[in-house]
């Protein structure tokens, strides 16, 4: 476990950077040219980013970036 102390301005910057990265991944999910193996890696990256995002963002913003679970089958 690693701890970090940041001020409010830095937290907003981290929030902004994570949002931008998640928006880019969400956009790339719609690209049919990207194969399923790459999309799987993108899913894993998105999960890590979202887990970081919930630590710095307000809950109402987190809801906007929650992904729906896929049904197997």
Task: Please report the pLDDT score of residue 72 as a whole number.
Answer: 55
Question: Residue 49 in contact with residue 22, Cβ under 8 Å?
Answer: yes
Residue 14: both structure tokens together = 């981290």
Task: Please report the pLDDT score of residue 37 as a whole number.
Answer: 95
36-68, pLDDT tens digit by residue? Answer: 999 999 999 999 999 999 999 999 999 999 987
Domain count, the chain: 1
Task: Please report the pLDDT score of residue 2 as a whole number.
Answer: 85
Q: What is the spatial distance between Cα 57 and Cα 51, in angstroms, rounded to a whole number?
A: 10
Q: What is the spatial distance between Cα 46 and Cα 50, in angstroms, rounded to a whole number?
A: 6
Residue 30 structural domain:
8-65
In a domain, 73, yes or no: no
Sorted by sequence, the CB contacts under 8 Å of residue 11 that are 6+ apart come out as: 56
Residue 35: both structure tokens together = 């194969």
In a domain, 3, yes or no: no
In a domain, 57, yes or no: yes
């Amino acid at each position: 476990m690693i701890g970090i102390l940041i001020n409010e301005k830095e937290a907003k910057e981290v929030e902004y950077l994570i949002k931008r990265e998640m928006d880019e991944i969400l956009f790339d999910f719609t690209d049919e040219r990207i194969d399923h193996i790459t999309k799987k890696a993108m899913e894993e990256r998105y999960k890590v980013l979202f887990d970081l995002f919930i630590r710095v963002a307000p809950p109402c913003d987190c809801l906007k970036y929650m992904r729906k679970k896929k049904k197997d089958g």
